[in-house]
Each structure stands twice: as structure tokens, then as C-alpha cells.
Amino acid sequence: MAGNAILSAFVASLCLSSGASAWPFAKRQTLSYADIQKQALANANKVLDGTLSDGMTRTTCNKNNVAVRKEYGDMTKDERLEYIRAVKCIRSKPSKLPAGKYPGAKTRYDDFVVVHMNMTPSVHSTANFMHWHRYYIWAYETALQTECEYKGTQPYWNWGKYSDLTVSPIFNGDEWSMGGNGDYVKHSGGMMGIPAGPGGGCVTKGPFGNLTVSLGPLMSTMDTSLKIPSNPSRDGYGNNPRCLRRDVNNYYMTRSLTMSNLANHITSNKAIGVFQSSLQNDSPTMPAIHSSGHFSIWGDPGGDVYVSPGEPTFWLHHGQLDRHWWMWQNYVEAEVKTRTSQYEGGTNWMNPNSAPGKATDAQWLDVVAPAGKNGIPSNQIFSTTAGPFCYIYQ
């Protein structure tokens, strides 16, 4: 801390003597993740009150009606109970998919899982990775609100906040949590050096204890000795009732998901292309930030890129991914406008030379799109307070 302060004072004095242009560099070195959030929120508020432009046109969203998404542990117990109630509610409503087409889709919640399974190859490692998932999470939040009378917003999991995730308010297994870890069963680690954690078995404690999942697996990363039953259908859409498994572990907490690594990721990637690809590109020894969050929960179907939304905390992890992007878009006042509309990458994950994504490309959510909001162009998803959205992060 003191060392840093001395260093930045030293760098600052060097910059002053050679002109003020290098100031932002010195500032970047010392910005914490909390500082980035603070700056992003201040700028987002300026955009809302019209004193700063992000280049978007907004009609109805303003400071008085903007929704605020909160960190799960920052919600009151009553707010958490209300969120849990709404998730259980959406899991009890009937599916709106064509009957018989997806035998594993039993509930309205499963509709979201099927849509993600269908879209997986076009919305990961592509130009619309951040955009489509922003749209998708918003659709889920909207379904909780319109189909289950939920008055709150979609919570997120601030990755660097809990040094021991297993006892965090999200996974400690108490009645206000998203359920406990999986029961311990002996198992081996997974790809890219994921070590076996303290769970691996069925979740039996807390709000989502003894939950049955039916879709998938399609691309499981769990130890085969756990004998997770295969789906009767090769496409993963068959009915395959089994327990929800987790292996909540702290392996990534001291590696890719530290607050300093997260802050560094935002401050060192100025263009959306490298920002997005470095978020997703795993190295042979260390998953990138996106996979690190998934593998910190791991399990079945949480560790399966196609079926992962079947894990009820998928939405907290991807909510945070959206927040991380929102922070990146907004934290530099002079760059809010250029960062908001950056869009870069292909359209198919298997083919790096696939057609480049265009800002006018329509995004699809099939049966989980809120009424009248299917097929909206990517450029309507650039800002969280323009287009169909009206939310910020606290």
C-alpha cells in the first residue's frame, strides 16, 4: 500500500515534469476494483442525468426509474428470500416450448436452458458474447418479474469478494443462500488443471437442495468416475432426471479471481476485442476469468458450457460478467462513448474466420424473449440504460 503510494507519487511527479498526458497511466496503476466500480457508477449517473453522452438515445430510462442490481451478499435477508422464491416459482411454471420437441424441458426455467443450449455455438467466443448474455440475463430477470411477481433485480456474485466461497452468503447452505455445496464425494479434477474440491456430489442443503435437473449433460467436465448419467438423446434435450451437483471450491479465488487481477483485466484491455477474448481464452494451465467463475461452482450441469444455466447460480456469475463489462464501458469518463459501442469478433465459435458480427445483427431469445423484444439489434444492447434496458450496478 505505502509502496504503491510512493511509487505512484514518483510516477506522477515524472509525468508532471514531462506534461500531463501520462497522468491516466499513473492513475490506472493504482485503481482498485472498488474504485473502478465507483467511477463507472458516477459516469453512468452522469449519462442518466444528461451531463455525459454515451452516444445512445434514451427515451424512458432516467435516474428516477433506473433499476439497481446488487451483490448477493449486499441484499437483505428478505430480499434474498424474495429472489429465491421467484427462482423457485419460475421452476414451477410450465414450459412454453413446443410439446415433445425437448423432452427434458419440464418447466419455464428449462426454457432458458434450452435456448442457451441452442445458441451456444453462436454466443460464445463471438462478437456477441457479452451482448447476448446481457440480453439473456435481462430476459431471465424480466421473467422473474412478470411471470413470478418479483419486485427485485437480478443479483450478481462479485468474484473477488469471498476468500472462502463455500461459506459465502451464496453457498453457505443456510435458508438465505442459493443452497449449499455438493456433498463430498471422492473424485478427480477436470480439464485445464481444475482440482477436485470439497464437493462433487448432490446438493442436499439449503434452498436448492435435492433439486432435480433433466436437460443434459452435453459437454460435462466432471470426473467420469462420478457416473453422471448420459442423456438419452445425443443432443442433450432428452429427459435425464438426476440431482444437481456442485463442487464449490476456492482454487481460483487466489489466482484468476483476485480483486487485483480483475482490476488489472479492466485497466489493461482498452479494446473490446482483447477485453472479450482475454476474458474467455483459457490457457493450458489456467482458465480465464469467465471459466474460472463457472469452475468455482463446477458440478453438473454448472460445468457444462451448453447446459450451465441449469445451475441456479449461473445467473449470479453471468450477472457479474455483465457488471465487469459495464465497469469497463463506463469507468473512464472521456471514453464512455467509444467503449459503449465497441463491437468486434466473428459469429461462430468453431470458426475464427466466420462472418464478422455487425452492430445491426439481430439477437434472438426464442421463447424466453420478453413480449415484443425478440430479435433486437446488437446496438440496442450496448448500454444498460438504453434500448430495452434500464439498470445500473451498485
Ligand X SMILES: *[C@@H]1O[C@H](CO)[C@@H](O)[C@H](O)[C@H]1NC(C)=O
Residues in touch with ligand X (CB under 6 A): 204-205, 209-210
- Comparison of 69 and 205: residue with beta carbon closer to ligand X: 205
Q: How far is the CB of 210 from ligand X (least distance, A)?
A: 4
Contacts 24+ apart (CB under 8 A), 82-85: 82/150, 82/151, 82/152, 83/144, 83/150, 83/152, 83/155, 84/176, 84/178, 84/207, 85/148, 85/150
- Comparison of 208 and 391: residue with beta carbon closer to ligand X: 208
Q: How far is the CB of 90 from ligand X (least distance, A)?
A: 19
- Comparison of 62 and 210: residue with beta carbon closer to ligand X: 210
d(CA 204, CA 242): 13
- Comparison of 58 and 88: residue with beta carbon closer to ligand X: 88
| Secondary structure (DSSP) of 362-378 | EE--GGGSPTT-TTEEG
Q: Say how many residues make up the chain.
A: 394
Q: How far is the CB of 219 from ligand X (least distance, A)?
A: 28
Of all residues in the shown chain, the one whose CB is closest to ligand X is 209
Residue matched to cell numbers 449461473: 314
Cα–Cα distances in Å, from 335 out to 277, 322, 327? 20, 18, 12
Q: Where are the alpha helices (DSSP H) in the chain?
A: 2-17, 23-30, 33-49, 77-90, 108-123, 129-147, 259-268, 272-280, 289-297, 314-330, 336-340
Q: How far is the CB of 209 from ligand X (least distance, A)?
A: 3
Q: How far is the CB of 313 from ligand X (least distance, A)?
A: 16
- Comparison of 245 and 323: residue with beta carbon closer to ligand X: 245
d(CA 272, CA 342): 6
Q: How far is the CB of 200 from ligand X (least distance, A)?
A: 16
